[in-house]
Amino acid sequence: MRMLPVLTRLAWRYLWRNHRRTIIMVSAISVGVWSMIFMTALSRGMVDQVIEDGVSALPGHVQVHNPKFLDDPSVVNRIPIGDAELSRAFSSTDFKAWASRVRVPAVIASEYESRGVTLLGIDPVAEREFGYLSYDDVEGRFLEDADDNGIVIGRKLADKLETRVGKRVVLMSQDPDNEIADRGFRIVGLFDAEVPAFEEGNVFIGKRTAQKMLHIGDTTTEIVFLGDNYRDIEPTYDKVLASIDGSLDVSRWSEVATYLGSMLTVMDGFVLIFMVVIFLALSFGLVNTLVMAVFERVREIGLMLALGMKPSNILGQIIIESMLLLLVGLVIGNLLAVATIHPLRGGIDISVVAEGMEMMGAASVLYPRLYVSDMILANVIVLFLGFLASLSPAWRASRYEPVEAITKVG
């Protein structure tokens, strides 16, 4: 440890003795690190958006269903507990937001067309917090309460049904006895959504209106809870588990939408692989630089050994030199990454490939997401693997025999 300042000073001086080589290597490291962070931020932005949209399209971070409901989403498989009892059970708890709702497949028909949709019977007041729709941006109006007699549908769906606000549509589903339950509704509002499938596939009616239409008393098909954010739902999950009837099925969003859940994992793996690959491409240059740096001062290494420096000090000196080189590159690379991502935080317009992004479930504006954890990961990977890569040249440098090194010709 005593040697650290000496070795660091030597390493730093040697680094700049051949400044051209160092500058080239620093540029390479900076570009590599920049690309690691930049690319990760873009991919994260895209995947996060897909997941967030996906999560908000099936609102509720933690969901409770009848165990049979997810495989057979019929009103037959509803939750046997009525709203009155639920309110009593949850009145003393402190969930950020919760709501019970009727969600069943249905058919909507205008005078011209019919389409399959998901019927959502909701209490608009209880669900405002869930934020999947901005009630105020609805053309016309959104539902006012659970007894609302109107229906709110997506604009795209309205186009396909050739209908508009103020017109009537018929909603058909089944009641628990498999009788067709149908009812006419007046369209009171049209909503827009980022994700077209959400706009086309969901229609909203009042919860009690839905219960009446489907003849299910005050029962519902799902109870949903909001966590603090979609990545951090375990506390909410545990609380729901503790406070709900054990015969019901409690699931995290990542279990309901397994595809989205696995996307998160795959993404983490991809980020790691990408960073390691970029580093490997860099590592050849790094090792090369160190080999050259050692080669051109074999004599001086011999001299230091002759003067009484231990081989381990030589090893340390080369490794410190490598670390300094990497650090300079890292600092520049990180700054570069922040400097290029920051101006893009308002989003990158990628509407040229909008439909392709839609196919992947993403919207047409890409917001890069720069996570501190990703930045740290990139830096740690570079430093750690860089350390490993420098071991071999450093080891060789420390193995020189002082006399041979000093008398080396060349």
In terms of CB distance, is 187 or 226 closer to another protein?
187
Q: Does 384 participate in binding another protein (rule CB under 8 A)?
A: no
Q: How far is the CB of 306 from another protein (least distance, A)?
A: 5
Instruction: Give me the sign of the Cα torsion angle 273, 274, 275, 281.
Output: positive
Cα(208)–Cα(280) distance, rounded to whole angstroms?
Answer: 61
Tell me which residues in 230-259 interact with another protein (CB under 8 A): 258-259
Cα(261)–Cα(52) distance, rounded to whole angstroms?
Answer: 11
Looking from the CA of 255 toward its CB, the CA atoms found within 13 Å total 14
Cα(218)–Cα(84) distance, rounded to whole angstroms?
Answer: 7
Q: How far is the CB of 278 from another protein (least distance, A)?
A: 6
Residue 318: which of 296, 340, 338, 337 has the closest Cα? 296
Q: How far is the CB of 73 from another protein (least distance, A)?
A: 7
One of 92, 269, 343, 409 touching another protein (CB under 8 A): 269
Element (H, E) at 46: helix 19-57
In terms of CB distance, is 111 or 129 closer to another protein?
111
Cα(60)–Cα(225) distance, rounded to whole angstroms?
Answer: 5
Q: Which stretch binds another protein (CB under 8 A): 225-233, 246-254, 272-280, 337-345?
A: 272-280
Instruction: Kindly write out the interface string for residues 283-322 of this chain, putting x where it contacts another protein by CB under 8 A and - elsewhere.
Output: -xx-xxx-xx--xx--xx--xxxxxxxxx-x---------
In terms of CB distance, is 179 or 245 closer to another protein?
179
Q: Which stretch binds another protein (CB under 8 A): 106-114, 137-145, 213-221, 341-349?
A: 106-114
Give how many residues touch another protein by CB under 8 A.
93
The per-residue DSSP string of 283-297 comes to HHHHHHHHHHHHHTT
Cα(71)–Cα(262) distance, rounded to whole angstroms?
Answer: 19
Tell me which residues in 13-32 interact with another protein (CB under 8 A): 13-14, 17-18, 20-21, 24-25, 27-28, 31-32
- Number of helices (H), then strands (E), in the chain: 15, 12
Tell me which residues in 340-369 interact with another protein (CB under 8 A): 350, 352-360
In terms of CB distance, is 20 or 246 closer to another protein?
20
Tell me which residues in 39-98 interact with another protein (CB under 8 A): 39, 42-43, 71-74, 76
In terms of CB distance, is 216 or 263 closer to another protein?
263
Cα(118)–Cα(300) distance, rounded to whole angstroms?
Answer: 77
97 phi and psi angles, rounded to 5 deg: -160, 145
Instruction: Kindly write out the interface string for residues 181-200 of this chain, putting x where it contacts another protein by CB under 8 A and - elsewhere.
Output: --------------------
- Beta-bridge partners for 184: 170
In terms of CB distance, is 173 or 236 closer to another protein?
173
